[in-house]
Structure 1
Amino acid sequence: MLGKAPPAGSTHMLPRDVEGLTWSALEPDRAGELAALVSRIESADGTPVRTSADEVATYFAERGGMRAVAGDDSDGVMRAFGLVRPRIDESVSAFTASGGVDDALRLKGAGAALVDWQVSTARALVEASGQERGVIVVHVDETEQDLTALLHEHGFRPRRWYVQMRRSLAMEIPEIPLPQYVSVEPWNDELANQVRKAHARAFSDQPAGAMERDTEPWGANALAFAPQWSFVALDRSSDRAKVAGYIISSRYEQDWEGLGWTEGYTEAFGVLSKWRGQNVGRALLVAAMRAYAADGMEYAGLDVDVEIALDVDHPEPHSMMALYSSLDYVPTSRSALYVLTI
């Protein structure tokens, strides 16, 4: 049995019964309790990337079809949660699943009950949408071995792999020469639309899925967006400046304790094909490094999708790992995207 019928008056299917927990629909007025639970879970797991209370609040602010459940103990304390959130994908019904169980209540079946609920909930949403198929995706850090095993038991398989890298800002930051008429300039909100279009074009020659993002990494809705750490490469060889590349940075202060260092994080980075092989990518990375260092950060950090990444400073498809390694980035951890087709 994947899920049980909702109580009278509720539109939520609930997970199956688990000893010591009472399930209910998770409503926005409990966002603070959810944030506290997420913090306890991430601390227990030693997860390097942490979720802020503001991020948790956005789950409800942008809920558009989200399904959420909470499991409370006999004292009414939230001890488990599960979320199923729609993703942006025009071809299929796609959902991001996340959840967790307080350390004290693990190994009692709550995790399996939540995954069962997530699968059955997503399947019901696919059927309601009228689409023939759907997918559920779960992001898993390499330290989350129990979750990895649980996902395998439920038919999820790894689809994409990511390497987290960092570069010490105590090291010398090199000077990077640029072509004539190309310059790296500070972020300007007036360029946002041009950068958005450039972002789409820069990844148009990568395999399908390269732009799997729930939200844009810049703009008013991106809580961690750091415009002071973001830059645009402009080609001014004609009357109208053209975007040759861009680097979008974020400031995830809530992660620093778990990581053990402070960092400026590269959220999005791309160079259009016409300007590849001309040091534009290196110049953007170096500009961001200098900005991070000026604000007292210890490291520059980023994630690399090892399957689809193209070296933006190489005219042909080539691993981005080589580019980052040439600028002294080193791997720190790994994560994966697990997928189930429903």
Structure 2
Amino acid sequence: MPSSVKLFTPYTVKGVTFKNRIVMSPMCMYSCYKEDGIVTNWHRTHYTSRAVGQAGLIILESTAVTAQGRISPQDLGIWSDDHIEGLKELTGLIKEHGAVAGIQLGHAGRKAALKEEIVAPSPNAFDETYQTPKEMTTEEIKETIEAFRLAAVRAKKAGFEVIELHGAHGYLINQFLSPTVNKRTDEYGGSEENRYRFLRETIDAVKTVWDGPLFVRVSAYEYLEEGLKAEDYIQFAKWMKEQGVDLIDVSSGGVAPAQVKAYPGYQVPFSETIKHGADIPTGSVGLITTGIQAEEILQNNRADLIFIARGFLRDPYWPRTAAKELRAELEPPKQYGRGWLY
């Protein structure tokens, strides 16, 4: 392998090493057909195939810490010990093929498309197609933070080596952070520090039971004139770093209906701004479609990891495709060696 190719160099955080810097980004599969949050054959096939495809780190889709916090009734869950067995099977399959297994813990807040009552920092609906959420009481906030802590306990029992907190795309943590959504007048609303309080307490709670790599995904740009921008996230990222967060996974949008003009690498500048502004490792995601593009991001110190989402949906062997573009060597599964180089 050419020594200059960074995409296929290992990355180590808190003693956990990813064999390359390609991350399968968390993407909801909406495939728990019994609406019980338990792993199905789809998940077994979907995640294992990307491990065979040589991803360095695979992060499971947003997995609900409470039944009330599901994005849809078909979401994966981790709110019960009943979920551990299926998740443990998944981590075993992923590790068997050389990838590190991570999980994204999430709560949808006002973007939960459920028939049951939903909750959020403030009682305003995402749009006319969603129900109006109930404003969370302080007690409900504490109960939800505890749900994240218990989810981290279950993630550890299931064999995950990385946890990512879902603080992006307009879901609950993002709702607390955003002044466009959070209209509270208590200690969880108003100032920047108050809006960060829910995430701060969630990180602290998770870290009482989790000492492995901890990532947080953020939406660093809201695409609203009055909304948060990447520069605003520098302070949040500094606080996260002080609390022991290892990497910020930088995405954008989703907090409110808005027009997004997406183009190749459109979110990379947000990653770059936060990385250098807060002096913290970042991951970049969003229309990164080629190995050459991914390598440019790494070589120019714009991010530390490359998160591939839809590219992995189109091509389970995206790392092999990228290696061919970069003329880099990538060790194949021995069973596929005869056809790997063609």
TM-score when normalising by structure 1: 0.29
Q: Which has the higher strand share?
A: 1
Q: Which has the higher helix share?
A: 2
Query: Which protein has the larger Cα radius of gyration, Structure 1 or Structure 2?
Result: 1
Comparing both chains, which one has the higher relative contact order based on Cα–Cα distances under 8 Å and sequence gaps of 6 or more? 1
